[in-house]
């Protein structure tokens, strides 16, 4: 499989604290990969670097063999990189449908910033189709007119994922998609992510390691800003370095 995204010696420092330390991370097109590690190990900072929310202190990021190291987030979305966040990031004062429309219009080629006539473009057939397709895929068609504030947390998570799919990404970065969900909601999200395998390139950060073991083809472990181990999920969890970094903390099921 061709390499879709790769970093070389990627580093991020915050006032003397090195959050990501010379990380070489690669994901092939069509792969579903997982990133785990103790709290504070640098996982979300890595995602922030990949998606352009943080500029790196040093190192390089390449997407589809082209450097994107200095590109802002919206340019990366246009290239096909979309992400979710640890805390669901949707607009509670808008409807489910309006959230989807806002994302599609903002990030389509020549996207417009919100203004008096912003939603007029929502009547365009391609916009309607993309939004309807995304909401149907995450099971929210029947709730499209509801204010997001009335949704359960699980539905808000599915909406956030649906919005990213409406952007038609090549690379989907999911930051703790199971956080804050009930067991029933976790099962729903896990099955949905399973349905994405082979259709998108997906990278998942998750603390509930046992829930993603069968989802990911490759597992990467970060600790203290460094990538310490990569490989087949169960082999990685049996690695002494991985077991050591979890010792005395919530250990993986291995």
What are the residue ranges spanned by the domains of the chain? Answer: 1-80+171-254, 91-168
Helix intervals (H) in the chain: 43-51, 73-79, 96-107, 125-137, 153-166, 183-196, 209-212, 233-237, 240-246
Q: What average pLDDT does the segment 91-108 reach?
A: 85
Over residues 41-73, the pLDDT tens digits come to 999 999 999 999 999 999 999 999 999 999 999
For residue 132, give Cα distances in angstroms to 93, 165, 232. Answer: 20, 11, 37
Q: What is the pTM of this model?
A: 0.88
Angle of helix 183-196 versus helix 153-166 axis, rounded to 10:
10
pLDDT grade for 37, boundaries at 50, 70 and 90 = very high
Q: Class assignment of domain 1-80+171-254? A: alpha beta
pLDDT per position as a tens digit, 101-153: 888 887 655 544 555 444 555 456 677 888 899 999 999 999 999 999 999 99
Residue 51, judged by CB atoms within 10 A of its CB (0-12, 13-18, 19+), counts as buried
DSSP 90: -
Q: Concatenated DSSP letters for 40-83?
A: TSSHHHHHHHHHTSS--SEEEEEETTEE-TT--HHHHHHHTEEE
Instruction: Quote the pLDDT of residue 252.
Output: 52
């Amino acid at each position: 499989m061709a390499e879709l995204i790769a970093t070389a010696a990627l580093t991020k420092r915050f006032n003397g604290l090195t959050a990501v330390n010379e990380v070489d991370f690669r994901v092939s097109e069509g792969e579903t990969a997982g990133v785990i590690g103790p709290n504070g190990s640098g996982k979300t900072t890595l995602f922030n670097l990949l998606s352009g929310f943080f500029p790196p202190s040093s190192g390089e990021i390449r997407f589809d063999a082209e450097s994107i190291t200095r590109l802002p987030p919206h340019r990366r979305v246009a290239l096909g990189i979309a992400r979710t966040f640890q805390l669901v990031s949707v607009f509670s004062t808008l409807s489910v449908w309006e959230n989807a429309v806002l994302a599609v219009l903002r990030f389509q080629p020549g996207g417009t910033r919100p203004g008096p006539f912003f939603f007029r473009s929502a009547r365009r057939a391609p916009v309607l189709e993309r939004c309807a397709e995304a909401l149907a895929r995450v099971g929210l068609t029947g709730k499209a007119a509801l204010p997001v504030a009335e949704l359960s947390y699980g539905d808000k998570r599915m909406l956030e994922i649906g919005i990213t799919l409406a952007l038609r990404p090549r690379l989907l970065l999911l930051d703790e998609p199971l956080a804050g969900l009930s067991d029933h909601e976790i099962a729903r999200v896990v099955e949905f992510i399973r349905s994405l395998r082979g259709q998108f390139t997906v990278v998942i950060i998750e603390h509930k390691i046992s829930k993603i073991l069968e989802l990911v083809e490759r597992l990467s472990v970060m600790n203290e800003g460094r990538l310490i181990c990569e490989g087949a999920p169960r082999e990685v969890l049996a690695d002494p370095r991985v077991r050591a970094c979890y010792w005395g903390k919530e250990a993986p099921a291995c």
